[in-house]
Amino acid sequence: MGKLKIGVFGAHRGMTMIHQLLNNPDAEVTAICDKYRPSLDAAGKTAEDAGLKVALFERFDDFFACDMDAVVLANYAHEHAKFAVPILKSGRHVMSEVLTCANLAEAVALIEAVEETGKIYQYAENYCFFNTTAEMRRLYKAGDIGELMYAEGEYIHDCASIWPQITYGERDHWRNRDCATFYCTHSLGPILHATGLRPIRVAGLEGQEKEFMIKLGARAGSFGIEMVTLENGAIVKSIHGGLKREPGSINYEMYGTRGSMETDRWDGNLHVWRETTGNCVGEHEKYAPSFSLDGAAGTGHGGSDFFTTHYFVRSILGDEDAKKEAVDVYEAVDMCIPGNLAYRSIIGDGHALEVPNLRLKEERDKYRNDTFCCFEEAAGEMYVSSTAAQWEQPVIGDEVYEEVRRKWLAGEPG
Ligand SMILES: NC(=O)c1ccc[n+]([C@@H]2O[C@H](COP(=O)([O-])OP(=O)(O)OC[C@H]3O[C@@H](n4cnc5c(N)ncnc54)[C@H](O)[C@@H]3O)[C@@H](O)[C@H]2O)c1
């Protein structure tokens, strides 16, 4: 059997997966799609320079029609399920970038497409695979801190300086109109993956948008918080968004019945405290965990980008260990839908809402037509604006987007 033929949809972030696949023993990139020709050509050149023959497409329909075993979705963050469903139904495996889906109706459709087709769906929530977060998962499963009581996940990334390069001056780019709680899986995901616990309730909070982002065309709260209750009663605070701190803050902490562990906020180490001989008596350990596999060190996002592509290819080949490590469709939905529900909570005065368990068929009908979200084209009649009512929705003139576009083309920071 020859190598698996992988198509990459979206040639910006998709370049990461293209790089990861250049020297893969079992898979190769055979097709790339992006409507933006310069990115498409740059991706094609990278593949060609590595000796690969790759078909390039500007239109998704042409890409879809070509011969591929699997597709990496690195297109717009709110359009992953929309494309994943037809790709799965055409008999291909899917690895999806973040986020999983735009709304709960899409979550149901995605799960059912995976169940019907039996194809591999893997969620590329790479933050689960840092040396630190992967170690937290290993230690949690080994029982080092007992049962989870409370956790925090934090993804603080002020994108103001790169806004022109990631929104291109497009008024309706998803980054300009996603609500504050949409991008929740980098902060919540690693806690769920480490513990294997399911979210059952969520309440949300929205940080007020400030002038420095309005000037760049963003139309939503600057950060979001989800307060999530897990199935065992543990509580997680998930916070993400644009606050002032360099480098950005990617941090996790977990408190259990017998100890705690947390990433160091500045130096990349992991701290573990284990209770030993009695209440409040224990030992503190601080170290930089090593990666579980060779090949990760030096790859993007602190080595985590290696694992998502690696597990995807290995899962397609039937490697059961890889499947256990990867994030499947149910976990992907668990990581994502608290963000959508948290936004309803914000609009509804902060009441906590139930997070459905969409593994259960009987829980699906209630959400099958639930298109509530802030992306008009996916929401239809359930559309809500991306800033909750308590803040004034900024009205942003075309001149703002023209200026951002100018900066993008000139390579200037925001
Ligand atoms: N996991 C991570 O660490 C990480 C980091 C960066 C981005 N991302 C994710 O990667 C995805 C892509 O983000 P990005 O930063 O590349 O920016 P983006 O969302 O602007 O890029 C999407 C790319 O897909 C192309 N595209 C979108 N729809 C298309 C269509 N219908 N036909 C042809 N081409 C189309 C666009 O031209 C663009 O180049 C997003 O989902 C984002 O959340 C994840």
Ligand 1: does its nearest atom lie under 6 Å from the Cβ of 34?
Answer: yes
pLDDT digits (tens, 9 = 90+) for 17-42: 999 999 899 999 999 999 999 999 99
Fold of 4-126: Rossmann fold (3.40.50)
What is the model's pLDDT at position 29? 97
Residue nearest to atom 34 of ligand 1 (CA): 34
| Amino acid (1-letter code) at residue 234 | A
Give the alpha-carbon dihedral of 358, 201, 222, 154, to 10 degrees: -90
CA of 170 to the centre of ligand 1 (A): 13
What's the rounded Cα separation, in Å, for the pair 310 and 308?
Answer: 5
What's the rounded Cα separation, in Å, for the pair 305 and 129?
Answer: 8
Domain spans of the chain, in order of start: 4-126, 135-293+329-382
Ligand 1: does its nearest atom lie under 6 Å from the Cβ of 340?
Answer: no
% of the chain residues with pLDDT over 90: 93
Residue nearest to atom 6 of ligand 1 (CA): 13
Ligand 1: does its nearest atom lie under 6 Å from the Cβ of 39?
Answer: yes
Backbone angles phi, psi at 199, to 5 degrees: -75, 140
Ligand 1: does its nearest atom lie under 6 Å from the Cβ of 316?
Answer: no
User: Partners of 282 in the beta sheet?
Assistant: 275
Q: What atom in ligand 1 is closest to the CA of residue 301?
A: 3
pLDDT at 298 over 90: no
pLDDT at 60 over 80: yes
Q: What atom in ligand 1 is closest to the CA of residue 77?
A: 41
What's the rounded Cα separation, in Å, for the pair 330 and 121?
Answer: 10
Please give the average per-residue pLDDT across 43-58, as a whole number: 95
What is the model's pLDDT at position 390? 62
What's the rounded Cα separation, in Å, for the pair 193 and 327?
Answer: 7
- Contact indicator for 241, 180 with CB cutoff of 8 Å: yes
pLDDT digits (tens, 9 = 90+) for 328-382: 999 999 999 999 999 999 999 889 999 999 999 999 999 999 999 999 999 999 9
CA 197 to chain CA centroid, nearest Å: 18
Ligand 1: does its nearest atom lie under 6 Å from the Cβ of 10?
Answer: yes
Estimate the crossing angle of helix 131-142 against helix 185-195, to 10 degrees: 30
Ligand 1: does its nearest atom lie under 6 Å from the Cβ of 212?
Answer: no
- Beta-carbon count within 10 A of 358 CB: 20
Ligand 1: does its nearest atom lie under 6 Å from the Cβ of 176?
Answer: no
Residue nearest to atom 42 of ligand 1 (CA): 77
Ligand 1: does its nearest atom lie under 6 Å from the Cβ of 166?
Answer: yes
pLDDT at 294 over 90: no
CA of 12 to the centre of ligand 1 (A): 6
Q: What atom in ligand 1 is closest to the CA of residue 300?
A: 3
Q: Which residues, 6 or more positions from 158, have their beta carbon under 8 angstroms from its beta carbon?
A: 242, 243, 244, 245, 246, 248
| Amino acid (1-letter code) at residue 270 | L
In this structure, the chain runs to a length of 414
What's the rounded Cα separation, in Å, for the pair 290 and 192?
Answer: 21
Ligand 1: does its nearest atom lie under 6 Å from the Cβ of 156?
Answer: no
Element (H, E) at 29: strand 27-33
Pairing of strands 55-57, 27-33: parallel
Name the nearest CA neighbour of 69 among 98, 97, 30, 96: 30
Question: Mean pLDDT, the chain, as a whole number?
Answer: 96
Q: Thinking of the domain 135-293+329-382, which architecture would CATH place it in?
A: 2-Layer Sandwich (3.30)
Mutate to test the pocket of ligand 1, among 8, 13, 177 (most ligand atoms within 8 A of CB): 13
What is the model's pLDDT at position 12? 95
Collapsing DSSP states into helix, strand and coil, what is residue 206? strand
pLDDT digits (tens, 9 = 90+) for 84-141: 999 999 999 999 999 999 999 999 999 999 999 999 999 999 999 999 999 999 999 9
Q: How far is CA 97 from CA 12, 39, 73, 227, 403, in A?
A: 12, 18, 6, 24, 29
| Amino acid (1-letter code) at residue 202 | V
Q: List strands edge to edge, sheet with 259-263.
A: 281-287, 270-278, 259-263, 249-256, 148-156, 235-241, 223-230, 199-207, 353-354
pLDDT at 401 over 70: yes
What's the rounded Cα separation, in Å, for the pair 389 and 347?
Answer: 7
Question: For 147-156, 171-180, 381-390, which range has the lowest pLDDT when averaged over its residues?
Answer: 381-390
pLDDT at 404 over 70: yes
Collapsing DSSP states into helix, strand and coil, what is residue 218? coil
Name the nearest CA neighbour of 346 among 380, 391, 377: 391
Q: List strands edge to edge, sheet with 4-9.
A: 55-57, 27-33, 4-9, 70-73, 93-96, 121-123
Per the confidence metrics, is the pTM higher than 0.95? yes
pLDDT at 392 over 80: no
What is the model's pLDDT at position 151? 99
What's the rounded Cα separation, in Å, for the pair 136 and 251?
Answer: 12
What is the model's pLDDT at position 297? 85
Please give the average per-residue pLDDT across 224-246, as a whole number: 98
Residue nearest to atom 5 of ligand 1 (CA): 13
Ligand 1: does its nearest atom lie under 6 Å from the Cβ of 13?
Answer: yes
Mutate to test the pocket of ligand 1, among 76, 94, 100, 187 (most ligand atoms within 8 A of CB): 76
